[in-house]
Structure 1
Amino acid sequence: MSWLKRIFDNRHRRARAAEGAGQWRRAAALWAEAGEPERAAEALIHLAERGGDLEMRLEAWYDALRWLPEDEEERREEVERRMGMAVLEDARTRGAASAEEKRRLAEAASRLERLDRGVEAAEAYAMLGRKEDQARCLELAGEVEKLEALLSETNEADRKETELRRLLGDYENALRYGARLEARQALREALRVSGEERSVAELLRRLEARMPPRDRVVLGVGGKRLCFVGSLPAVLGRGDEVEIRVRGTSVSRRHAEITLSGGKLVLRDLDSRNGTLVRGVPVAGAIELAGPTEIGLGDDVSLEVRPKEGFVVIDVRSGFDRGTRVIVGAGALRCAEVAATITFDAGWAVLTADPGASLALDGQTCALPVHLLLEDRVEVDGVEVEVLS
C-alpha cells in the first residue's frame, strides 16, 4: 500500500484517531486490521509504558510480542527486558508473598537471565531464596565479590541449618526419654542458632508451660492425690504463695509452719486468726511433736502429720482438700504407693525409680530419672503415675 493510500485509508485514519484519543488498545486492533503489525505492537508498548496496574502492563507487553515480527530481535528483547524489570521493581516495592507473585517473579528472573541481565536476575532469584540460581547469575555477570559473599553466606546458612537439625533432634530424644532439662537447653540453643525462629520459640514456650511449679508437683496414683513439696521449713495456709496450700474457711493465708530440727518435727503457729490445735488443744509459738500427731487449722481443717527420716508426711483428714497426702522435705521424698523417689533439680520435680524397678514414660522405657512435665504418664513397676499439677 502506497503512503498516499495509507493517509486516506479509513482504517488508518481510525487507528490514528484512537491514538490521538489515548485509546491505545483500540488503536492496536485497528493497526492490526490495517495490516500494520509493527504499528499495533508500538501502540501496545506505548500503553504499557504509560504505567498503571502491573497486570495491565504485562498483558500489553505480551500482546506486543505477538505482533512484533520474529526478525525484530533487538526490539523484542527490549520489550522482554522491560517486562522483567517491571516485575522486579514491583517485587522490590511490595515483595512476592503469594504463589502467583512468586511464579511471576521466577519467570521474570529467567527472562532477565536469558537476556544477559545477570545482576538483576540474581536479585530476583535472591528474593525467591534460590541461592544456586543466584550464584550462577552472579558468576555470569562477573560479580566476583558478590558471588564470594553469597557463597560464604550460603555456607554459614548450611552450617546453621545442620546445627539446628541436630539440636531439634536432641530435643526430641531428650523429651522422649525424660531428660527435660537437656530438652529445654537444646531448644534454647536452637532458638539462638535460628535467630529467634518463631516455631522454635513456640516449642520452648510449650515445654516451659508444662513444667510443674517450682519445688512442687502433684501426682495421681491409684485414685489418690500425692503432693510433693521440696522445701523445709514449709508454711501451711490457704494463700497462693505458701508451700503447702490447705483450703478452709477458718484457715489463714499463712497459718502455721512446720520444719524438722534434729530429726524432730516442729510446728509453729504464725499468729493465725483461728489458731492452730494439737490434739484439740490450741498452741502458741513453736511446739515439738513426737510421732504421728493430729493438728487442726482453725475448726474445719484437720491434718495428721508423721515425721519420717528427712521428710514429713501430711494427710488431710477434713476440709476442701480432704484425701490429699503431702510429702514435704528438702531431700529425697518417698511414698508407699510407688517404688521411686521424688527430688527437685533446680526446683524441677525428678522421679527416680528404685534399683531394680522398671520405669516407662508414655510407654517408652527409661533408663535414667525423668524430669516430670504436666500430663506425663509414668509407669513404675506396673504402677501408673499421672502428673496432675
Structure 2
Amino acid sequence: MNWRNRSLFYVLLLMALGSHLLTIGASAAGWAALTLNYVAYPHLAYWRARRARDQRLAEMHNMDADIVMAGAWIASLGAPLWISFILCASGCINMVVFHGARGGLRLMLSLAVGMALAALVVPLAWQPETDLRTSVLCMIALLLYLFAFARDGYDRAMSQSQANSRLRKQYDEIQSLQAQLREQALRDPLTGLFNRRQLDATLGPAMQLCREQGACLSVLIVDIDHFKRINDTHGHAAGDAVLQSFAQLLLRHMRPQDMAYRIGGEEFLLVLGGTPLDTAVERAHMLREAVEVLRVRTGSGELSVTLSCGAAAFPLHAQEPQDLLDCADQALYEAKKGGRNRVVTHPGPVPLQPALSASE
C-alpha cells in the first residue's frame, strides 16, 4: 500500500472506530491507542518501508503488523461485526495480493496473535452490536477502500497495457528492421539486384525444383562491354549511372519467376526457371538489342553501351549449380573473345544470329 492509500484508509478507520469508542464511552487509554494506531503509525510504517533495502519485504512486515493490531482491536472491543468485517476484509485483500492463496492462512495467524495479545491486557467479552452511525461509517470506509484499491489496479493495468503496446511496437520495429537488414544483406546496394550470396543460396534449390518437375532452367551471364573504359574516361559516377540504368532495363525484361543478380563489377546473371535454352537465348538477344539503343545520361553527356552474354542450361550442360555457372562463364568468355556484343551458348562461340561489330 502506498502512503496515500494507507493514510486515507486509516483516517476512515479512525472515524469508524472513534464513533464506536464514543458510543461505548471508551477510556482515555482507548482513545490514546486509537490515535497512535491510526494517526502516528501509518506515517511510521511508510517511513520504514521507504528506507528499507527491500521495500516489498518491509511492506509485508507492515501488513503483518496491521493485521496483528486489527486482531487486537477486534478482541478488545468485543468483536463488533461491522468493525471486525472491514478490518478482516481489508487485511485479506492485502494478504492475498502479496502472498496469493496462502495469504489467507497468514491473515488468520496474524489475527490470532493480535487477539492473544489483547487478551493479556483486557478481559475479552462478546459485544457484536454497532450503532447506525458506526455501521454507516464502516460501510463508507470499506467502499472507499475498495474504490481506491480498484482504481490503483486499473492504473496499473492501463500502465501495463501501454507498456505492452510500446514493447509490441518496438518488437515490430525490430522485426521490420531485421527484415530490412536481411534484405539489404542479400542485395547489391548500387543496383538493388540480388548479390552473389543470394545466388549461392537460391540457384541450387531452383535447380532441384526443376529436376523434380522435369523442367529446364537456363542461366545468362551478362557483361557490359568495355566498362573499365567508361570508368577511366568518364569517371566512376558515370560508371555507376550505367550500372543502375542497365539494372533497371534488366528488371523490365524479367518475368515474375526470373531472378536477377549482380555478381561482379559489371557482371550480371539471370536465372530463368522453367525456360529451355533456345527461349533463354532469344530473350538474351532481346536484352542485347534493348541495351544497344539505351542512352544513359551522365555528367559528361549521354553514353551508350553494349553487352556480351553467355548462356547455359540445366540439365543440358550441367547438373550442379557451380558447373552450370562455369558453363555460362565459358560461353561469356567466348562471346568476348569473338568480338563482344553477342550471345554465345556453351560449349563454343555459336551465336544464334550474326554477330555485330563490337561497339567501343
Please give the TM-score of this superposition, normalised by the length of structure 1. Answer: 0.26
Highest relative contact order (Cα 8 Å, sep 6+), 1 or 2? 2
Between Structure 1 and Structure 2, the one with more helix by share is: 2
Structure number with bigger Rg: 2
Please give the TM-score of this superposition, normalised by the length of structure 2. Answer: 0.28
